[in-house]
Amino acid sequence: MTSFIDRLQHSFFDTFREQGNLHFSPVLPARLVDPIIVSHNRLLAEELGIATTDLDQPEMLELMSGNFMAANVKPVALVYSGHQFGVWAGQLGDGRAMTLGELPVGTDASLWDIQLKGAGPTPYSRFSDGRAVLRSSIREYLCSEAMHGLGIATTRALCLVDSKTQVYREEIESGATVCRVAQSHIRFGSFEHFHYRKEPDAVRALADYVIQRHFPEWVKDTDRYLKFFRNTVFKTARMIAQWQSVGFNHGVMNTDNMSILGDTIDYGPFGFLDSYNPDFICNHTDANGRYAFKNQPSVGLWNLNALATALTSLISNEDLIAELTKYEPEFLQQFRQIMTTKLGLQTYASGDEQLINQLLDLMDTNQVDYTILFRSLCEFSDSNQTLRDQFTDREGFDDWAKNYSRRLQQQDWTDLQRREQMLSINPKFVLRNYMAQACIEKAQKGDYSEVHRLLEVMQSPYKDHPKAEEYASLPPDWAGQISISCSS
């Protein structure tokens, strides 16, 4: 079998190499001191066709820690720009990430980017060190896999490395790398970069590359750019509907953190809801709450408007506006369908939105845990004491439960059928910030056992995990004191 390193290709690099550093810059990693493998994601490795023997080779540690570059591995850092907190920030780029190559996967040899994050400075580091610290790398490693386990489109992570390299943040921390895997690392901001530089040919070249790589069936279509934008609109709407349905708050939805394919990307100050609170802000840097949980759907549309502006050299304003108007109906359709399924309903019917909203309002005013409540609803019956006890306003819950019971009686599912369906859509586990924090504190002392345990749980969050049942309980009192910033 061909080794992982030998399988890496450079089709993106070759496509734009004649344009110099217009789209990317060649880079070299900076060595980590005394690196150690914290974790391999063997489930992902299997899906990528990477042999277990490859993972365990010393060369893999060298590659994943930036200490070794095989002759055919020529990393690059991509350039992009973006709107950050609604303000045009100009040129940004991969400040601490470098793409090693593209890995062909499966019988169709579809390409997946292999990217190393935290391996040192690039031309886009903006005077920073290009490093990632262990705590942020653990968070991305675990959360990207948690999102995949929840069935949400996302980048993933293949490998996590710790080291004795000292990195200076608020205090001295250990440097780490995480190997990120994605169908594409091209962002809304990639197109914005060339639009605002008044380089329409570069916008077109990038769009052509994305279409050729991901949608080859459109290559000869005269409306291929419109189809490309339409796909981004619909995939973004679905992604954010899924975020809302599991209580996920991204925390920093800048246009440079939005994948052109509708994948969740860039796990920084994220957070899953504990008690349901639509005003939840997981990023303490976000003083005005621009990226609060309740605002994510509207921010998605704002970001798509920014992308549309960047594509005006390829698509008419009329067509762009027409596609943008489809975002809200698509988001609502997706969200309603998911929430209907979470309630164990076969189809969405008139009145179900009121039923959903009444429950969410009760959860908000009663500070009910989001994940636990929906998992508990799987066991809904005529006797609901466990459910009632989650609400201080028990009479309010009883009134809702009567309406819910009447709605369930309108369909032909048995209680067992409904329960099985609900258990498959309402996760028992999500990666709450307190879990990640406890894991980080152990890892910083050299104990990586919690990384392995959490990874296993998050890869199958709908199943029971007898050895990790505490993760399905209410968070400890200190969980609310955790503060996450963009540097996390």
Domain boundary among 367, 389, 423: 423
Q: Are 325 and 308 in contact (CB under 8 A)?
A: no
Structural domain boundaries, residue 362:
345-423
**Domain assignment present for 326:** no
**Domain assignment present for 478:** no
The confidence score (pLDDT) of residue 488 equals: 45
Q: Could you read off the pLDDT of 369-389 as tens digits, one per residue?
A: 999 999 999 999 877 888 999
Q: Are 74 and 64 in contact (CB under 8 A)?
A: no
Confidence at 13, pLDDT banded by 50, 70, 90: confident
**Domain assignment present for 279:** no
* Annotated catalytic residue, options 94, 256, 274, 369: 256
Of 44-53, 64-73, 190-199, the range with the highest mean pLDDT is 190-199
**Domain assignment present for 436:** no
Confidence at 238, pLDDT banded by 50, 70, 90: very high
Confidence at 68, pLDDT banded by 50, 70, 90: low
| Helix, strand, coil content of the chain in percent (nearest 5) | 45, 15, 40
The confidence score (pLDDT) of residue 71 equals: 58
**Domain assignment present for 314:** no
Q: Are 364 and 277 in contact (CB under 8 A)?
A: yes
Contacts of 197 (CB under 8 A, 6+ apart): none
Domain boundary among 390, 406, 423: 423
Q: Are 191 and 203 in contact (CB under 8 A)?
A: yes
CA dist 364 and 305 (Å) reads 31
Confidence at 276, pLDDT banded by 50, 70, 90: very high
Confidence at 1, pLDDT banded by 50, 70, 90: low
**Domain assignment present for 338:** no
**pLDDT of 487 over the 60 cut:** no
* Residue 93: both structure tokens together: 């780029």
Domain boundary among 396, 423, 450: 423
Number of domains in the chain: 2
Contacts of 15 (CB under 8 A, 6+ apart): 209
Confidence at 108, pLDDT banded by 50, 70, 90: confident
Q: Could you read off the pLDDT of 160-174 as tens digits, one per residue?
A: 999 999 999 889 999
- Name the CA radius of gyration of the chain, rounded: 23
Confidence at 69, pLDDT banded by 50, 70, 90: low
Of residues 37, 43, 10, 270, the one with CA closest to residue 156? 43
**Domain assignment present for 394:** yes
Q: Judge whether 256 counts as a catalytic residue.
A: yes
**pLDDT of 205 over the 80 cut:** yes
Minimum mean pLDDT range among 71-80, 95-104, 172-181, 273-282: 71-80
The confidence score (pLDDT) of residue 4 equals: 85
Contacts of 457 (CB under 8 A, 6+ apart): 429, 465, 468, 471
DSSP-assigned states of every residue in 230-279: HHHHHHHHHHHHHHHHHTEE-S---GGG-BTTS-B---SS-EE-SB--TT
Q: Are 124 and 25 in contact (CB under 8 A)?
A: yes
**pLDDT of 6 over the 90 cut:** no
**pLDDT of 257 over the 50 cut:** yes
**Domain assignment present for 62:** yes
